[in-house]
Amino acid sequence: MRKIGIYYAFWTHEWVADFLPFVPKVKKLGYDILEVHSGILADWTESKRLELAKAAKDEGIQLSYGLGCSAEYDVSSPDERIRQNGLRYMTSLIQAVGRMGGGVIQGSTYCAWPKKLEVGESKQQYVDQSFKSMKELAKVAEDSNVIVNMEILNRFEQFIFNTVAEALPFVSAIDSPNLGLLLDTFHMNIEEDSFYQAIIQAGKYMKGLHCGETNRKPVGMGRMPWKEIREALDSIQFDGQIIQEPFVMFGGQVGQDISVWREVIENPDLDKLASDSAAFMRRVLVV
């Protein structure tokens, strides 16, 4: 059965946070998975990471690890020094998650976020550098019981892959069971002609789904075609994680980075919104 999750930053204004209190919270609100910021996790001590893993196991909650990779760790960089720095960073992160029991690392695992192609730069050079890196990191993931998902991002946040059609030759050429595609309804709404066809095209390489409404409200509060999305997931027999990433609060680094310039929902009861959305997700996307 598909499992549903939510990103901790729905409740925070800053990326840096103690993830431990969110473990029982998301369980109580009806979720199976808590997605945390793996970049923050990388700065933790080994004992603190293992404490989080134990807390999640004791609560019956899975952990997922989101990543918005900063420029200094860009494994797609034409600057070989930066690429190698990124390889060291990603290798260390994958192995750390492996020691926590394994799981999924997903997001801009293959590139920097956010990043625009500068005038005169070669997009293909970034693609080629990323390919070399991900081919190597896929082997690290295989040895660590970790799935590394590459998120297909919209044109305003990245340029390497904006559609499934762009990403498919890349991931199929590497063809590792531990390297997959992460589709996200927010980005798909901007870039794909059809939710259904994009999911069908991704097929076996789709190993995760991020979701939210078109304006990043919680799932069930907008106009996303969830029935169409569900039909496509069923067609490819998708059994990966479905994790929502709602952002409704103005302020802090989270609001700045996600471009939330107003209170999307006035005086929100975040826990109730999350609980109602979990019930909707389970009813519409799972059961």
pLDDT digits (tens, 9 = 90+) for 255-277: 999 999 999 999 999 999 999 99
Tokens, residue 29: 């609100």
Helix axes 80-99, 123-144, angle to 10 degrees: 30
The reported pLDDT for the residue numbered 158 is 98
Mean pLDDT of the chain: 98
| Phi/psi at 126 (5° precision) | -65, -40
Q: Are 160 and 130 in contact (CB under 8 A)?
A: yes
The reported pLDDT for the residue numbered 38 is 96
Average pLDDT over residues 142-159: 98
157, 192, 213, 245: the active-site residue:
245
| Phi/psi at 243 (5° precision) | -125, 125
- pLDDT tens, 180-211? 999 999 999 999 999 999 999 999 999 999 99
Q: In the annotation, is 151 catalytic?
A: yes
Range list of H helices, the chain: 22-28, 38-41, 46-59, 80-99, 123-144, 164-174, 185-191, 195-202, 226-235, 252-258, 270-281
What is the rounded CA–CA span in Å between residue 89 and residue 23? 26
pLDDT tier for residue 221 given thresholds of 50, 70 and 90: very high
Average pLDDT over residues 35-59: 97
Q: What is the pTM of this model?
A: 0.98
The reported pLDDT for the residue numbered 77 is 98
Strand 62-67 to 33-37 pairing: parallel
Tokens, residue 10: 């729905």
80, 136, 151, 228: the active-site residue:
151
pLDDT tier for residue 1 given thresholds of 50, 70 and 90: confident
The reported pLDDT for the residue numbered 119 is 97
Report which residue type is found at 85: N
The reported pLDDT for the residue numbered 250 is 97
Q: What are the angstrom distances between the C-alpha of 278 and each of 84, 212, 265? A: 40, 12, 18
Residues with Cβ within 8 Å of 278's Cβ and at least 6 positions away in sequence, in order, are 4, 6, 29, 30, 31
Percent of the chain surpassing pLDDT 70? 100
Q: In the annotation, is 231 catalytic?
A: no
- pLDDT tens, 127-150? 999 999 999 999 999 999 999 999
pLDDT tier for residue 84 given thresholds of 50, 70 and 90: very high
What is the rounded CA–CA span in Å between residue 55 and residue 47? 12
Q: Pick from 34, 51, 40: which is nearest to 17 by CA? A: 40
The reported pLDDT for the residue numbered 45 is 97
Q: What are the angstrom distances between the C-alpha of 240 and each of 3, 53, 110, 233, 263? A: 7, 20, 20, 10, 32
Q: Is the pLDDT of residue 287 over 90?
A: no
